DNA sequence: GCGCCGCTTCGGCCGGGTCCGAAGCACGAG
DNA sequence: CTCGTGCTTCGGACCCGGCCGAAGCGGCGC
C-alpha cells in the first residue's frame, strides 16, 4: 500500500512540537505571517521557515503573498478535521479533567473563541445545548441534523441556510457536525451550520473578533440578542442572570 | 495550552512508519496479536513490542490477554476517526489518482473490505450511491441523514436502526457519516449506520470475512440479495450484468 | 516437570531530523 | 538608488528515537 508511508509522513508533520504549535494556532481559521507563527511555536524565524515549507509542500498549509508578507493558513477543512481528530484522541477518554487552569489569561478563550470556521467555548456549547433543547437540532457522536422546525427558527435568526446548503432545498437537514470542545469537553456545532452561525453572529455585530487572539467578545447588544434568541444560558461567563 | 504538547505526542505516535503500518492494519476493526502486527509493520517482534506498549499507554490501542496471546485493537472509534482524517489529508486533494495499481493482489480489497466497523471499497461506494439515488439517505461533506422513507427501506432489509439509535425513536435520522474511500476517492457510509449495514450483511450471510485480510467476499446468495435490494450497481467487480 | 513459544526488557549502535548562526534574496519605503 | 525588513537557504552540531541481538518472564502442551 502506498498510503501507509504517506500516512506516516503526514502524521509525522503534525508530530513535531513546533509544527503542532503552528497548526494549533491556525485552527482559528485566520492567516498568519511566518514571524507570528515562529513566535507562537517558540522557534527562530529560520527554523519556522523550514517547517512552513514542509507543511505547505505536503498540502497542509496554503500561502498567500501580500506585499512582503506571506500569510499562511490551513489549506482545507479536511486539515482542520484531521487536527480535531488528533486533539480528540490526545485529550484522552477522561470526561472530566477537573478545573485544570483558571488563569484569567485564557478566561476569554474559554468563554468564546473561533475553531477554524465556527464557534467554540462555553458560549458555543451553551448555544448547542439551547438548539438541542428547543428541538431545532439533533446531535449525535457521528453527526447532527437540523429539524424542519429548526430550519424556521434559524432562518428567523438570519442564518443563511441556503448558502450552507449548496445542493438545493431538498436536503437541508444535514450540514451539522459535532466538534468536541477542549475546554468544556462537550460537543458544540461545527460543520457548515457552525460556520453559518458564526458568520451570522459576526454580521449582526453580536460578536466581535479580538485582535491577535482566537477569542471573540460578546457585544452588549449581542448579549441581549443572544439571550433573547437562545435563553439565559447564553448570558455570561459566570451566569450573571 | 497543555494540549499542544499532547497533540504533537499523539501525532508523533502515528508518524512513525512502523506504528502507522500497525494502525492501518487495525483499521479493519479486528484484534491482532503482536507477532502479526510485527510482520505487518516489517519489524522484529521486540521492536513491535515497544511500539505497541507506547500506543497502548497513549490510549490508542486496547489489549485483551487470551492465553499466551495478546490481542491488540484500536481503543475507540475516535482513534479510527483520527486515522481516517489523517489518511484523507495524506491522500491529497487530487480527486483522480489515475489507475495507480491494478495488481490482482489487492483486487479483492478494492472490491469490498472493512474499514474499522463498516464497509469500504467499490461495493460500499455503490451501496452509498444507490441509497442516495433512491432518496433513502442524504450525504454531504459534513454529515449525512436517513430520510423517513429511508428508515422504512432499511428496516425492510433487516437493518437494526433501533440498535443504531440508542437515544430513542425521536432522532433516528442522524447516525450517518461520510468516509472518503482511499481506493475509489468517493464517499461511502460510515458511522453507526455504516456499522449496522455491515452487521446486517454479515448476519444475512451476504458477505463473508476473508481470513487474514481486510477483504470481504460476496456470497452467491448475497450477490442476488444485494442486486435485488440496491440495483445492478452492486452486481460485480467489473459489471457482470 | 520439562521444553516450546509468544512476548517483553535491556544495551548499544546508528541514522534522520531539528535547531540555530550567518549569509543571501525579494520587496517596499524614503 | 540605497537602506531596512521579512523571509529563505546553507552549513554544521546536537540529540532524540528506532532498530536489532541477547537474555528474562509467563503460559501451554506433551
- Tell me which chain A residue has its CA closest to the CA of residue B183: A3
- Scanning every residue of chain A, which has its alpha carbon at the shortest distance from the alpha carbon of B191? A142
Q: Is the CB of A69 under 7 A from strand D?
A: yes
pLDDT of A21 above 80: yes
Q: Do B82 and A82 touch (CB under 8 A)?
A: yes
Mean pLDDT value across residues A38-49 = 93
Q: Which nucleotides of D are covered by protein (CB under 7 A)?
A: 4-10, 17-23, 26-28
3-state secondary structure string, chain B?
A: CCHHHHHHHHHHHHHCHHHHHHHHHHCCCCCEEHHHHHHHHCCCHHHHHHHHHHHHHCCCEEEEEECCEEEEEECCHHHHHHHHHHHHHHHCCCCCCCCCCCCHHHHHHHHCEEECCEEECHHHHHHHHHHHHCCCEEECCCCEEECHHHHHHHHHHCCCHHHHCCCCHHHCCCCEEEEECCCCCCEEEEHHHHHHHHHHHHHCCCEEECCCCCEEEECHHHHHHHHHHHCHHHCCCCCCC
What distance in Å separates the CA atoms of residue A10 and residue B11, rounded to the nearest whole number?
9
Q: How many CB atoms lie within 10 A of CB A193?
A: 28
Given a cut of 60, whether residue A91 has pLDDT beyond it is yes
* pLDDT tens by residue, A59-79: 999 998 877 788 999 999 899
Asked whether residue A209, judged by its CB, lies under 7 Å from any atom of the DNA or RNA strand D, the reply is: no
Q: What is the pLDDT of residues A109-164, one digit of tens each?
A: 788 888 888 898 889 999 999 998 888 888 876 777 787 788 888 888 888 776 55
The CATH fold assigned to B3-78 is: Arc Repressor Mutant, subunit A (1.10.10)
A241 touches strand C (CB under 7 A): no
Question: Residue A164 to residues A173, A226, B125, B135, B176: CA-CA distances in angstroms?
Answer: 10, 21, 25, 20, 19
- pLDDT for A46 beyond 80: yes
Query: Is residue A241 over pLDDT 50?
Result: no
- Pick A3's closest partner by Cβ from B93, B145, B182: B182
Tell me which chain A residue has its CA closest to the CA of residue B21: A4
Domain boundaries defined on chain A: 2-78, 103-234
- CB-based contact A3 B24, cutoff 8 Å: yes
Distance from CA of B230 to the nearest CA of A (A): 21
Mean pLDDT over residues A32-46, rounded?
A: 92
How many whole angstroms separate alpha carbon A219 and alpha carbon A217?
Answer: 6
Q: Give the pLDDT mean for B176-198.
A: 81
**Residues B195-215: b if buried by 16+ CB within 10 A, e if exposed:** bbbbbbbbeeebbeeeeeebb
**Whether B161 CB is under 7 Å from strand C:** no
pLDDT at A32 over 60: yes
B194 CA vs C4 C1’ separation (Å): 43
User: Which of A212-216, B34-38, B234-238 is predicted with the least confidence, judged by mean pLDDT?
Assistant: B234-238
| pLDDT, tens only, A169-180 | 344 455 678 777
For residue B42, say whether its CB is under 7 Å from any atom of strand C.
no
Overall CATH class of domain A2-78:
mainly alpha
According to the model, what pLDDT value does residue A168 have? Answer: 40
Residue nearest to nucleotide D16 (CA to C1'): A16
Q: What is the mean pLDDT of chain A?
A: 82
C-alpha gyration radius of chain A: 19
Strand C near-CB residues (< 7 Å), A 62-81: 67-68
- What is the maximum alpha-carbon separation in chain A? 58
Least confident of A165-169, A213-217, B157-161, B176-180: A165-169
A12 strand C contact, CB < 7 Å: yes
Judged by CB atoms closer than 8 Å, whether chains meet at B86 and A87 is answered as: no
pLDDT of residue A172: 46
The torsion of the CA quartet B84, B87, B88, B92, rounded to 10 degrees, works out to 180
User: B179 or A78: which carries more pLDDT confidence?
Assistant: A78
Q: Which of B211, B229, B209 is nearest to B219 (CA)?
A: B209
Asked if B79's CB is within 8 angstroms of A10's CB, the reply is no
Q: Please tell me the distance from the alpha carbon of residue A27 to that of residue A74, in angstroms, as a whole number.
A: 7
CB A56 within 8 A of CB A62: yes
Are residues A2 and B90, on separate chains, in Cβ contact within 8 Å?
A: no
Q: Scanning the structure block, which residue is given the C-alpha cell 483520527?
A: B82
User: Which three three-digit cell numbers place residue B94?
Assistant: 487530487
Mean pLDDT, chain B, as a whole number?
82
Amino acid at each position: 500500500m502506498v498510503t501507509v508511508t504517506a500516512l506516516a509522513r503526514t502524521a509525522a508533520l503534525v508530530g513535531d512540537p513546533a509544527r503542532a504549535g503552528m497548526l494549533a494556532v491556525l485552527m482559528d481559521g485566520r492567516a498568519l505571517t511566518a514571524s507570528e507563527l515562529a513566535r507562537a511555536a517558540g522557534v527562530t524565524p529560520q527554523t519556522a521557515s523550514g517547517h512552513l515549507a514542509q507543511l505547505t509542500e505536503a498540502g497542509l498549509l496554503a500561502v498567500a503573498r501580500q506585499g512582503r508578507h506571506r500569510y499562511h493558513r490551513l489549506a482545507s477543512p479536511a486539515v482542520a478535521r484531521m487536527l480535531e481528530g488528533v486533539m480528540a484522541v490526545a485529550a484522552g477518554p477522561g470526561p472530566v479533567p477537573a478545573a485544570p487552569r483558571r488563569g484569567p489569561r485564557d478566561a476569554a478563550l474559554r468563554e468564546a473563541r473561533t475553531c477554524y470556521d465556527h464557534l467554540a467555548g462555553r458560549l458555543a456549547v451553551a448555544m448547542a445545548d439551547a438548539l438541542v433543547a428547543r428541538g431545532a437540532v439533533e446531535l449525535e457522536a457521528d453527526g447532527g441534523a437540523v429539524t424542519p422546525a429548526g430550519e424556521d427558527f434559524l432562518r428567523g435568526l438570519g442564518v443563511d441556510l441556503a448558502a450552507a446548503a449548496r445542493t438545493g432545498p431538498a436536503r437541508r437537514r444535514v450540514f451539522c457536525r459535532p466538534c468536541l470542545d477542549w475546554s468544556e469537553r462537550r460537543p458544540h456545532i461545527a460543520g457548515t451550520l457552525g460556520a453559518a452561525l458564526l458568520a451570522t453572529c459576526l454580521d449582526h455585530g453580536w460578536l466581535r473578533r479580538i485582535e491577535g487572539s482566537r477569542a471573540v467578545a460578546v457585544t452588549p447588544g449581542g448579549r441581549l440578542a443572544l439571550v433573547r434568541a437562545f435563553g439565559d444560558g447564553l448570558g455570561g461567563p459566570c451566569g450573571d442572570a
